[in-house]
Chain A
Amino acid sequence: MIEAHFKVAYPGFALDAEFSVPARGVTALFGRSGSGKTTLLRCIAGLQRAPQGRFALGGEVWQDDQVFVPTHRRPIGVVFQEASLFPHLDARGNLDYGRRRIAPAERRVALEQAIELLGIAPLLHRRVDALSGGERQRVAIARALAVSPRLLLMDEPLAALDAEAKAAILPYLDRLHEALTLPIVYVSHALDEVARLADHLVLLDAGRVIASGPLGETLSRLDLPLRLGDDAGVVLDAHVGERNAQWHLARLDLAGGGALWARDHGVPLGQRVRVRVLARDVSLARTQLAGSSIVNQLCGEVEAIADDAHPGLALVRMRVGSAALIARLTRHSVHTLQLAPGQPVWAQVKSVALMESLT
Chain B
Amino acid sequence: MSTADWQALSLTLQLAGVTTLVLLLLGLPLAWWLARSPSRWAVVAESVVALPLVLPPTVLGFYMLVLLGPQGAVGGTLQRLGLPHLAFTFTGLVIASTIYSLPFMVQPLKDAFAAVGQRMTDVAATLRAGPWDAFFSVVLPLSRRGLLSAITLTFAHTLGEFGVVLMVGGNIPGSTRVLSIAIYDHAEALNYAAAHRLSLLLLVASFAMLLAVYAVNRRRALVKP
Contact = CB atoms under 8 A, between A and B. Distances in A.
A315 interface: no
B82 interface: no
A73 B125 CA distance: 8
Interface string A215-240: 00000000000000000000000000
Interface residues of B, number: 21
A88 B225 contact: no
A84 B119 contact: yes
Interface stretch (A50-58, A75-83, A187-195): A75-83
A224 to B, nearest CB: 32
Nearest to A98: B127
B119 A147 contact: no
Counting chain A residues whose Cβ lies within 8 A of the other chain, the interface size class is: 20 to 34
A45 B126 contact: yes
A63 to B, nearest CB: 15
A78 B224 contact: no
A254 to B, nearest CB: 40
Interface stretch (B106-114, B136-144, B198-206): B136-144
Report whether over half of chain B's contact residues are helix, strand or loop; otherwise say mixed: helix
A47 interface: yes
Contacts of B123: 78, 80, 84, 86
Contact of A84 (B120, B128, B142): B120
A80 B121 CA distance: 13
B138 A47 contact: no
Q: Max chain A CB contacts within 10 Å: which of B123, B128, B129?
A: B128
Contacts of B130: 70, 72
Given A86-B138, A97-B137, A129-B224, A71 B125 contact: yes
Contacts of B142: 86-88
Interface string A141-168: 0011001000000000000000000000
Interface in B106-163: 119-120, 122-131, 133-134, 137-138, 141-142, 144
B123 to A, nearest CB: 5
15 contacts: A47-B122, A70-B130, A72-B125, A72-B128, A72-B129, A78-B126, A84-B119, A87-B224, A88-B144, A97-B124, A97-B137, A101-B128, A101-B129, A101-B133, A144-B126
